[in-house]
Amino acid sequence: MIDSLRRYMPVLDWGSRYNRSAFSNDMIAAVIVTIMLIPQSLAYALLAGLPPEAGIYASIAPILLYTVFGSSRALAVGPVAVVSLLTASAIGQVAEQGTAGYAVAALTLAFLSGAFLVLLGLFRLGFIANFLSHPVIAGFITASGILIATSQLRHVLGIDGHGHTLPEMLWSLLENIGEINWPTLVIGVSASAFLFWARKGLKPLLRRLGLRPLLADILTKAGPVAAVVATTLAVWQFDLAASGVAIVGDVPQSLPPLTLPSFSPDLLGALLLPAILISIIGFVESVSVAQTLAAKKRQRIDPDQELIGLGAANLGAAFTGGFPVTGGFSRSVVNYDAGAETPAAGAFTALGLAIAAVALTPLVYFLPKATLAATIIVAVLSLVDLSILKRTWSYSRADFSAVAVTIALTLGLGVEVGVGAGVVLSLLLHLYKTSKPHVAEVGLVPGTQHFRNILRHEVETDPTLVTLRIDQSLFFVNARFLEDLIQNRVTEGCAIRNVVLMCSAVNEVDFSALESLEAVNARLTDMGVGLHLSEVKGPVMDRLNRSHFLDQMNGRVFLSQYDAWMALRQPDGPKGQATAAALG
């Protein structure tokens, strides 16, 4: 009982060894992460099309739940850019932004996503995420970065804009370009310029001013806070809201409210597929961050437990006014660099954000949306990496095509089509590669008892005997290929009287492959050709013995391929001529 609790709640493990030193390290990390998260949470709520407080709520309960159920020591959970974009795209199709239905749809999406992740974790199905290939993920993240940055341009320009694809967004910006709000543009551009500079130039400057490297690093990461403070003060001081600068405005002073997702079958049905996509993309990103950070301390994470942790976080978001969340790269790195030792750092961060939600929200009344847009743009442009096109091109055309298709479709037709096409393409490439098992026709190396590929070695063969070495387990994806291969090989050589399948590398024969072998046997019998097996492994033989195949098979099972050769070759026939026939 305790063991099973411990398995699903890693907190019981690290919590029992928690001490004062870990506490103070976690506390320091939490303060730093909290300061960084306030503008980030507001910004990603904006990106998801939700009111700013939703971003803060989405960082409180989810972090607490991840603390209890997650397996990574450093992962910081909350709204992240790509997931917020996917959220906006998914719920934009079922509700109008700004309506109550929109917020409920966001809760429902988080609920579905959380439930799906928990189910995957409980059934240990995390391997499903493996089927998003790296090129597809890289292409998708890059294209999403471009889409997100473009979607925020309207806030920087102070104009209207809409659309879920790059052409739609650009067209909509062009249509409204005449209505630029100049004070907004000044704020947006200067905030962006400052933030870009801060990423590269602030740290060396702080070091030259005599700060310690760690502190300089952390202050650099807090650049967005400086931009927020400066632009908020400017708007307040010069009353820029009256000049048309869009501001955050009233944010309720409250702890996260208790909320309920919708359980309407229509809405659940419409959001199921987007929820699955969001879950898997979020999980893949999160696990790779967690693995990288864990390796630095020679720790390990458990991907199936991560599913449960992230699932619990999303369920938490669904019931406390949030939206879909996952482990974020930048916040996790800050958390790790600031010295977080245990997930308790996350709990303290949640506490900090709860205080902010209750006490600090009036301070962001005059915060211009252009500043939030600038923080998003600067953050996501670091995700854009078009060099992946060049790297995959030089490495493999198949991988290149997966990247190119994913980028093109994500930009041109939207995130869901893009990632969907990427997944389908990955799967098709995978299915195609595995549907053709490697099969080599082999012959005897003269003077030995070894059999080698007739295409690569000088070997003895017999025109009446075909020996095929099967270099892969046999199951339904490649069973039919083997049927075709044997039938084609036998119909092309009229002298063939026996076929031997050399099974030294076959670890499994599933029921489909068994039926294929039965079909091959029946067809070879019709042609008057014998079917034999050699070097069948013990477990495979046990299983074949439980079927009727061995009774029906018209030939024999030989312990070694050499036995088969000695028994089946033509005693006085010509040697070494079948090679040419087989190649011809």
Piece of 104-112, 169-177, 234-242, 515-523 that binds a copy of itself (CB under 8 A): 515-523
Which of 86, 490, 531, 533 touches a copy of itself (CB under 8 A)? 490
Torsion, Cα of 397, 399, 405, 410 (10° steps):
-150
Interaction between residue 273 and a copy of itself (CB under 8 A): no
Interaction between residue 507 and a copy of itself (CB under 8 A): yes
Which of 438, 453, 573, 574 touches a copy of itself (CB under 8 A)? 438
Interaction between residue 151 and a copy of itself (CB under 8 A): no
Interaction between residue 537 and a copy of itself (CB under 8 A): no
Q: Which residues inside 417-436 make contact with a copy of itself, applying CB under 8 A?
A: 426-428, 430-436
**Spatial separation of the C-alpha atoms in residues 124 and 139, rounded to whole Å:** 27
Do the strands 451-453 and 465-470 form a parallel or antiparallel pair, or are they unpaired? Answer: unpaired
Return the H-helix or E-strand segment holding 422: helix 415-434
How many CB atoms within 10 Å of residue 209? Answer: 8
161 within 8 A of 49, measured Cβ to Cβ? no
Interaction between residue 395 and a copy of itself (CB under 8 A): yes
**Helix boundaries (H) for 58-133:** 61-69, 81-91, 100-122
What string of H, E and C letters represents the secondary structure of 160-200?
Answer: CCCCCCHHHHHHHHHHCHHHCCHHHHHHHHHHHHHHHHHHH
**Spatial separation of the C-alpha atoms in residues 471 and 488, rounded to whole Å:** 19
Which of 69, 116, 475, 565 touches a copy of itself (CB under 8 A)? 475
Nearer to a copy of itself, 168 or 518 (CB): 518
Residues 6+ apart with CB under 8 A from 464: 495, 496, 497, 498, 568, 569, 570, 573
Piece of 75-83, 127-135, 347-355, 357-365 that binds a copy of itself (CB under 8 A): 127-135
Nearer to a copy of itself, 337 or 483 (CB): 483
Give me the least distance between CB of 475 and a copy of itself, in Å please: 7
Q: Which residues inside 289-328 make contact with a copy of itself, applying CB under 8 A?
A: 291-292, 294-296, 298-300, 303
Give me the least distance between CB of 391 and a copy of itself, in Å please: 7
Which of 386, 424, 527, 559 touches a copy of itself (CB under 8 A)? 527
Interaction between residue 390 and a copy of itself (CB under 8 A): no
Give me the least distance between CB of 395 and a copy of itself, in Å please: 5
Nearer to a copy of itself, 510 or 563 (CB): 510
Which of 113, 516, 534, 561 touches a copy of itself (CB under 8 A)? 516
Q: Which residues pair with 469 in a beta bridge?
A: 440, 502
Interaction between residue 264 and a copy of itself (CB under 8 A): no
Interaction between residue 547 and a copy of itself (CB under 8 A): yes
Interaction between residue 511 and a copy of itself (CB under 8 A): yes
**Spatial separation of the C-alpha atoms in residues 461 and 500, rounded to whole Å:** 13
Q: Which residues pair with 531 in a beta bridge?
A: 499
Interaction between residue 387 and a copy of itself (CB under 8 A): no
Interaction between residue 133 and a copy of itself (CB under 8 A): yes
Interaction between residue 523 and a copy of itself (CB under 8 A): yes
Residues 6+ apart with CB under 8 A from 450: 444
- CA nearest 323: which of 268, 259, 370, 372? 259
Interaction between residue 484 and a copy of itself (CB under 8 A): yes
231 within 8 A of 290, measured Cβ to Cβ? no
Which of 519, 541, 567, 581 touches a copy of itself (CB under 8 A)? 519
Nearer to a copy of itself, 99 or 434 (CB): 434
Which of 242, 488, 538, 583 touches a copy of itself (CB under 8 A)? 488
Residues 6+ apart with CB under 8 A from 354: 60, 255, 256
Return the H-helix or E-strand segment holding 489: helix 476-492
> Hey, what are 365's tokens?
């009344």
**In the block, residue with structure tokens 């089509």:** 417
Give me the least distance between CB of 23 and a copy of itself, in Å please: 25
Task: Considering only the C-alpha atoms of the chain, give the largest distance between any 2 of them, rounded to a whole number of Å.
Answer: 105
What is the sign, positive or negative, of the torsion defined by CA atoms of 412, 418, 424, 430? positive
Nearer to a copy of itself, 365 or 481 (CB): 481
- As a whole number of Å, the CA-based R_g of the chain is 31
Give me the least distance between CB of 517 and a copy of itself, in Å please: 11
Interaction between residue 24 and a copy of itself (CB under 8 A): no
Which of 24, 264, 387, 396 touches a copy of itself (CB under 8 A)? 396
Nearer to a copy of itself, 236 or 549 (CB): 549
Which of 26, 217, 306, 399 touches a copy of itself (CB under 8 A)? 399
Helix (H, G, I), strand (E, B) or coil at 261: coil
Tell me the CA end-to-end span of the chain in Å, nearest whole number.
67
Return the H-helix or E-strand segment holding 204: helix 203-208
**In the block, residue with structure tokens 């991907």:** 303
**Spatial separation of the C-alpha atoms in residues 330 and 335, rounded to whole Å:** 9
Interaction between residue 337 and a copy of itself (CB under 8 A): no
Residues in the site for a copy of itself, rule: CB under 8 A?
A: 127-135, 288, 291-292, 294-296, 298-300, 303, 391-392, 394-396, 398-399, 426-428, 430-436, 438, 475-481, 483-484, 487-488, 490-491, 507-508, 510-512, 514-516, 519, 522-524, 526-527, 543, 546-547
